[in-house]
Each structure stands twice: as C-alpha cells, then as structure tokens.
Amino acid sequence: MPRRRFQVRGVVQGVGFRPAVYRLALARGLTGVVWNHAQGVTLEVQGVEADLAAFERALREEIPPPARIQSLVVEAMHDVQGEAGFRILASGQGEAPRPVVPPDLALCEACAAEVDTPGERRYRYPFTNCTRCGPRYTIIEDLPYDRPRTVMKAFPLCADCAREYQDPLDRRFHAQPVACPACGPRLALQAADGLVRAEGEAALAAAAEALGQGAVLALKGLGGYQLLVDATSAAAVELLRSRKRREAKPFAVMFPDRASLLRDCEVSPEEDAWLASPEAPILLLRRRLGGAVVAEVAPGNPRLGAFLPNTPLHRLLLAAAGRPLVCTSGNLSDEPMAFEDDEARRRLGGLADLFLSHNRPITRPVDDSVLRVDADGPTILRRARGFAPLAVPLGWKGPGALGLGGPCVLALGAHQKNTVALLKGGELVMSQHLGDLTSLEGSDLLARTVTDLLAFFGARPELLACDLHPDYASTRLAERLAAEWQVPLVRVQHHHAHGAACAAEHGLTGPALALTWDGTGLGSDGTLWGGEALWIEGAIFTRLGHLKPFPLPGGATAVKQPRRSAAGLLWAVRGAGAPPPALAAAFDGAEWAQLQTLLAAGFNSPVTSSLGRLFDAVAALAGLHARGGFEGQAAMALEFAAGERVEAPYGWDFLDGVADPAPLVEGVLADLAAGREAGFIAARFHAALAELALAWAHQAGLPDVLLSGGCFQNALLTARVQEKLGGAGFRVHRHRAFPPNDGGISLGQAAVAALTKVDP
Ligand SMILES: [Zn+2]
Ligand SMILES: [Zn+2]
C-alpha cells in the first residue's frame, strides 16, 4: 500500500497542527505517525491512493488558523507492515532547539463561547485557552515547547484537564497552557502594598467597580502589566496622564466588544478582520464624532488606537466595567513594561491604585502590537504580541541573494523603539518591541532578549551588526559580544539601515533609491542626518541627496521643543533677526535672544538634515505645538491639519541633490503674513515633500524607490509620495511587516551585515 512522508515547515507547533493532522488521517482511515522536530513537523501516512490524495488536499486547504504551512515537501516511502492506526509521537528528545517559537494568540471563538456559557467547566474562567489560542512566547522557559518547560509546570493538571490534554480528538490535546478553575491560575486584587483585598470573582468585580469610580488599575495582562482607566472619564484619563508623566501622547483604548468599538470608530472590512485575528493588534482607526471615549485620550487626533479583549481576563474585566478602558503599557514614560510581580509593585506603586494580578508568571515582556491599514494595505507600526517571534522569510532575489547558506547575523537595533533581529537560514526573526534603551531596565531587557533568541533558535552568529553611534546601549552590547565571540562587528549608518530594512522586506538587493525621512540619526560625516536620498546597492550606500542642513540650537532639547527647530531653520534661511509675529509668542522673555546668541556662536547648535525637524519647524511656524510635547506631536498636528485638502506645493532650491528649503520657508512666512490658516500651509508643505521625492527619484533614475524612516508613519505623507512617484512610473515600496520607524532598524542592520563581505 502506498505511503507518503510530508515535511512541513511554517507555523505548525503549539497551534493544534498535530491533532488536526490526526483527525484528517482518522477521517480517511489512514495509518501513520506525526511528530514535531527541530525543523517543523513530519508526518507519514499510508492507505489507498485516493485517500492519500484526499488527505494531501485537506492538509493543504483545511488546516485551521493560526496554523500556517509555509512549505510542504512530499516523498514516497516504502510501506510499513502491520501498522495499526495513526499515532502522535512525543517530541524528539536531544535534538537541537526548534526554530519555531509560537507567538501568543488571542482568545479564540470556541474558548470565548465557553467562558460566556453558564454550566461550562470554564464558565467565567479568566485563564481559559486551547491549542488555537492563549499564551505561548510569554510563558515559555525553554524548548521544545512542552508544558514542563513553561511556567505552567507549577500547575499540575486536574483529572478533567489531563483527559482533554491527552485526547487527540479534543481541542485541548497538548495545549500546553491548558487550565481550569480546579487546577489553574487564580486572580487576586491587591493594594499597592501587596495586601490581598479580594480573590477570584470578587477581585474581578472590585476591580471593575474601582475603574468605574475613576481609579487607575494595574492589570497583569498577557505579556506584562498594563495601566487601565475609564476611557469615558476625562478626570480618570487626566489622573493617569499626570501620574504617568505623559502629557499628550495618545493612549490606546480597549472596547468590551465589537459593537461598542463601532460606536467610536469607523472600521473597514480589512480592519474588522484584523480586530478578530489571532494577532488582535491595536488598530489606528478613524474616530467617529459623538463616541463614548473622551477627547483627552488622544487630543487633537482624528484616529484612535483601538482594540478588543485578547484574553479571557480582559474580556471578563471589560464586560464587568461595561465601558471602554484606556489600556496602556505599565511603565513610566519610555521604560520597558513591568512584567514581574515584585518589580511591577515597585515601579508602578506610585501610578496605580490597585493591582489585579494572578499567579501565572510571565517569562518575558511582550507589548501590544500596533497596526494601521491604509488604502493600499496594512503596516505594522509596533511588532510585538501575536507577531513576535515568528520567523519571516525574506525571499531575496537576484544577484547577491541570500540563500539558505547565508551567514547567521545578530543585529542589535536602534536606541529608541529598539528591537533585536536574528537572520538565519534566509529567515528573519525580529524580537518583540523592547522600547527605549535609556533606562537600566531597557539595557537589561536587551541583553536578556539576545540570550533568549540565540537559545530558542539555536543560533551562533557569525556576524554582529549595530548602529554607528558609539554611546548607544545597543552598540556597547554589540562591542562586548563581538569581543567575547570573536566575530566581526558591522556598524551600519542609521538611515542606511532604514533603507536596507525596506529593501530586505521586499526582497530587493539591486540598486534602489531609499528616501529615508526620519528624526535624527548619526551620519557618516558626524552630523545629524534625517532627510536623505540614498542610493542603496547590496551592502553599499551613496548619499545622493539630502536636505540642506540647518542648526538646532540646544541640540537634543530641540526634539521636544519645535520652536527651537523653527529658530534654527529661520537662522539658516534669513540669518539673525526678530521672530515672525506668529512665532514670537512661543518664546519666553529673553529666550529668542539667547537662541540667537547660541546660533551666532555656533555653540551647542549641531546642524541637521532631518526631515522630522523640518516638520517640527514648519508646524511651529504654523502655530502648532511650537512650545513642545512628545516627539512627533507637532508633525502629527501638521498631518492632521492638512486633512484631505490638496494645495499647490511650496518650492525648493536644488544644488547637486541638496534640497534648500529657503523658498519653502519664505512661502510659509508669506502665507502666514497673508493670514492663511495652518491647514492650508500643512497641505502645501505635504505637496512640497511629494515634489521633493519626485525630484530625487528623477535624479537617481532608478525604477525602485523605498520609503522608510519615522516620517513615513505619516499616512498623508506616504500617500502623497506614493501617488506622485507612482504617477511618474516609479515602483514604490513601503514597509508592511516591519515598522518604518526605528523598530525596523535591526532588520536593516542585519541585511547590510549579511551582504557585507567581511575579510577574516
Ligand atoms: Zn481557544
Ligand atoms: Zn483543570
């Protein structure tokens, strides 16, 4: 009788793949075996030809998500005599760690129904899960992924759970985090001093009641502690802002259910699918007028970061609270999220009134992912829960393509929005978003994440990559590891890494123009770059064009004080002088004069070609957030002010690829003098940037143009540049699976290092 072997790679471990195979084989009377191993899953089936063909079809078409087959190799085998039935073999022992570490998955429909149904064993149980949903990456201690190597080892299965766990026909067959009210983790509500106030249902009810009264709740979520407040109460939101020292940056909001979300946000069919997906990211949705969420949640922002409960605990809490809740990372400003209980009480004690916690440990912090869907598709803006640490095939084509034999590279990423990337076997594994590395917690987390990824993926890097900047925590760790492992370290310029990330994501290694428009990053010439047109080819880049540099009086402080960028830009264009009337009010007393002195002396006034700072300067001139806020706030205000309106672009002066914004600045000043409003100026500015993109694209004369850098988080800018370049026949590539912001830098560093020929 014919027998076939199927070698399956993809998302096939920890997602109910083997039980699904078992059921398919059983339904067709086939005998055989299936087992997990280092490269994925292998199965052998034996039976009559028609049944084997039907089985293969079903395998390709009927495996339920979140399982995903990336490659399937079929071989004919000799038959096995006397085989009885179909068996699921135990995971291979003593093999190399397997390359697939499953990401955490949002509550599935079947489990949600159980949680909602009185009489079910898991009715209202906050830790319900199955092979299709639940924690994975956040509970794994070691591989292979089996219960004894997760934090669930502390919860011996009761007889009922054990039966489900062992029954190949059950949805919970080998669901490693399986648990129930009799044997699993439990909830507790604690005061900031750690004193337990209530447990179980009573804890949930008391937490919901406190939220209704305006309290700040620290919730131990899936991948760390989150801070929650009533999103319909301005007072509650302001309380959280003052305690978290976060003045204006938008908060994400979790809604109890889809119906309540639809009252506050517009949702397209594609966005709807993402809301219900196993990744269940925060989506940046258009707000509706007259919704329940107060304006203080995202001041002046036409979009709202919205998502649905992704665990049974969130589902029960949101239902009990009966209102949308602000749901933000449990941290102070830009530190990493707290995820261990003692640490959380220490760090969040002054922020939260109550802690809704439980006794299931979290092995590593994983934030919520953020995604935006534009007219031409989705872009991940923060890659974390649901996506990390899935390997993404890069599929490079053409000369210099990385085959399976490419070197193993570890890249340590940028200083802000840090991620770590591991390139191995032509696939890229990006860590979850780790946040800023300015704090001690941040650099500790970076080191732990590196150790994790190398162990999980059995990787021994032959090359290391980091930023050019000598003082970043990521650079220092890269230097230390390079010395320890005796491997070469490739230092990659920040904007080169941005462009290379976009190229790698789209499988391009040939020459392309990268428009890397960004905040500031250290350039190869020691100045601050950020408005760049780079010719990228393999591991090499040439700076084809850039914004004409202007000084930033006060250096780094300019990032949070757009009026300083405006002063520097005016100095570069007009020289010394009084501030234009519209801008004068943004400066205190002698401040303008002091900045003029700094600029005249060239003291603490580094020059930059940053487009992000040009955004700040123009926003400040237009009267938007001139005094300050969070990084990017003024630029966002300019995007929102422009709305959908289309106006004639401001001009540029070009000299050898250097774009002088002097005509643009004069145009803005003339419009201000004529009393034109901010929206008009903002629309002309965006149109001018599309013209700038086109001018550089014509100068490069290459068919492929890559868009990367923090400025391309701006949906309007991205759309305008795409239209302009697309209309002129260029192929425009933008980020999809990886963030255009500094979260994508590690990918670009890894790609450049892999393409670099390093002499031994
Ligand atoms: Zn489930
Ligand atoms: Zn149980």
Give the DSSP letter string of 520-574: EEE-TTSSEEEEEEEEEETTEEEEEEEEPPEE-TTGGGGGG-HHHHHHHHHHHHH
Give the Cα separation of 581 and 571 in Å (integer): 15
Gyration radius (Cα) of the chain, Å: 27
Q: How far apart are CA 687 and CA 618, in angstroms?
A: 13
Task: Give the integer Cα–Cα distance in Å for 230 and 309.
Answer: 15
Ligand 1 midpoint to CA 384 (Å): 20
Q: Cα(122) to centroid of ligand 2, in Å?
A: 9
Residue 99: is its pLDDT beyond 80? no
Mean pLDDT, rounded, for 533-555? 95
For the chain, the helix, strand and coil percentages under 3-state DSSP, each to the nearest 5: 35, 20, 40
**Measured at the alpha carbon of residue 598, what is the angle toward residues 594 and 603, in degrees to the nearest 5?**
150
Task: Determine the distance separating the centroid of ligand 1 and the alpha carbon of 65, expressed in angstroms.
Answer: 11
- Across 262-387, the runs of DSSP E, i.e. the strands, are 265-266, 282-287, 303-307, 325-329, 354-358, 370-374, 377-382
Q: CA 493, 494, 499, 505: dihedral to nearest 10 degrees?
A: 110
pLDDT tens profile 26-38: 889 999 998 887 6
Predicted pLDDT at 514: 98
Distance 121 CA to ligand 2 centre (A): 9
Looking at the CA of 175, name the nearest ligand. 1
d(C-alpha 213, C-alpha 233), whole Å? 9
pLDDT category of residue 11 using cuts at 50, 70 and 90 = confident
How far is it, in rounded angstroms, from Cα 153 to Cα 146? 9
CA of 311, nearest ligand number:
1
Per DSSP bridges, beta strands 704-708 and 370-374 are unpaired
Tell me the ligand closest to 156's alpha carbon.
2
Listed residue (389, 334, 496, 470) closest to 13, CA to CA? 389
499-533: burial string, b at 16+ Cβ within 10 Å, e else: bbbbbbbbebbebbbbbbbbbbbbbeeeebbbbbb
User: Sign of the C-alpha dihedral, residues 436, 441, 445, 447?
Assistant: positive
pLDDT interval class at 396 (50, 70, 90)? low
Give me the mean pLDDT over the 676-701 stretch: 98
Tell me the residue ranges of DSSP E strands in 38-67. Answer: 40-46
- Residue 3 and residue 75: Cα distance in Å, rounded? 9
* Least distant ligand from the CA of 162: 2
Helix, coil or strand: residue 132: coil
- Mean pLDDT over all residues of the chain? 92
Identify the H or E element spanning 75.
Answer: strand 68-77
CB 743 within 8 Å of CB 398: no
CA of 429 to the centre of ligand 1 (A): 26
Query: What pLDDT sits at residue 372?
Result: 97
Taking residues 385-410, what's their average pLDDT? Answer: 71
What pLDDT is attached to residue 91?
Answer: 67
More confident residue, 80 or 219: 219
Distance 180 CA to ligand 2 centre (A): 4
pLDDT class of 97 with cuts at 50, 70, 90: very low
Could you report the per-residue pLDDT of 316-334, keeping only the tens digit for each? 999 999 999 999 999 877 7
Beta bridge partners of 4: 45, 76
Residue found by looking up tokens 């939101």 in the block: 237
Mean pLDDT of 219-235: 97
Judge contact between 55 and 30, C-beta under 8 A.
Answer: yes
Of 142, 192, 491, nearest to 346 by C-alpha is: 192
Q: Please, which pLDDT band fits residue 143 given cuts at 50, 70 and 90?
A: confident
Q: Ligand 1: distance of its center to the CA of 261 in Å?
A: 22
418 Cβ neighbours under 8 A, 6+ residues apart: 412, 433, 434, 435, 436, 437, 442, 446, 474, 742, 743, 746
**Measured in angstroms, how far is the CA atom of residue 377 from the centroid of ligand 2?**
42
| Angle in degrees, 0-180, between the axes of helices 494-505 and 745-755, rounded to the nearest 10 | 80
Closest ligand relative to 184 C-alpha: 2
Which ligand is closest to the CA of 111, given by its number?
1
CA distance to 198, 336, 690, per residue, from 226 (Å): 19, 11, 39
The token pair at 624 is 């938007």
- Alpha carbon of 108 to ligand 1 centroid (Å): 4
Q: Which ligand is nearest to the CA of 165?
A: 2
CA of 6 to the centre of ligand 1 (A): 27
* Residues above pLDDT 70, as percent of the chain: 97
Instruction: Tell which phi-psi region holds residue 429, choosing left (phi > 0), alpha (psi between -120 and 50) or beta.
Output: beta
Contacts of residue 707, defined as CB under 8 A and 6 or more positions apart, other chains included, come to 502, 515, 517, 718, 721, 722, 732, 733, 734, 735, 740
d(CA 501, CA 733): 11
CA of 174 to the centre of ligand 2 (A): 13
How close is the Cα of 179 to the center of ligand 2, in Å?
Answer: 5
In whole angstroms, give the CA distance from residue 546 to residue 517.
10
8 A C-beta contact, residue 321 and residue 260:
no
* Per-residue pLDDT, 92: 58
pLDDT in tens, 592-621: 999 999 999 999 999 999 999 999 999 999
Q: Which ligand lies nearest to the CA atom of residue 170 in the structure?
A: 1
- Residue 370: pLDDT band (50, 70, 90) is very high
The whole-number pLDDT of residue 212 equals 98
Q: What is the mean pLDDT of residues 709-737?
A: 97
**Cα 622 to middle of ligand 1, angstroms:** 51
Q: Which ligand is nearest to the CA of 129?
A: 1
Quickly state the pLDDT bin for 760 (edges 50, 70, 90): very low
- In terms of pLDDT, which residue wins out, 211 or 393? 211
pLDDT (0 to 100) of residue 399: 40
pLDDT tens-digit series, residues 256-265: 999 999 999 9
**Cα of 124 from ligand 1 centre, angstroms:** 14
Compute CA distances 406 → 82, 197, 208, whole Å. Answer: 44, 56, 53
Give pLDDT, residue 96.
Answer: 45
Closest ligand, as measured to the CA of 171: 1
Arithmetic mean of pLDDT, 280-284 = 97
Give 471 Cα–ligand 2 centroid separation in angstroms. Answer: 51
- Sign for the pseudo-dihedral over CA of 274, 456, 178, 205: negative
Distance 208 CA to ligand 2 centre (A): 26
CA distance 13 to 11: 6
Q: What is the pLDDT of residues 161-204, one digit of tens each?
A: 999 999 988 889 889 999 999 999 999 999 988 899 999 999 99
Counting ligands in written order, the one closest to the CA of 66 is 1
Q: Ligand 1 centroid vs 128 CA: distance in angstroms?
A: 7
**What is the spatial distance between Cα 217 and Cα 563, in angstroms, rounded to a whole number?**
36
Amino acid at 466: C
What DSSP state is assigned to residue 232?
T
How close is the Cα of 488 to the center of ligand 2, in Å? 51
Q: What are the pLDDT digits (tens) for 48-88?
A: 999 999 999 999 888 877 788 888 889 888 888 888 889 88
Ligand 1 centre distance from Cα of residue 132 (Å): 5
Q: Closest Cα to residue 520, out of 626, 436, 608, 603?
A: 608
316 Cα to the center of ligand 2, angstroms: 19
DSSP string, 731-748: EEEE-SSS-SSGGGHHHH
Give the ligand at the shortest distance from the Cα of 114. 1
Ligand number nearest CA of 155 is: 2
DSSP one-letter code for 78: -
Ligand nearest to the CA of 105: 1
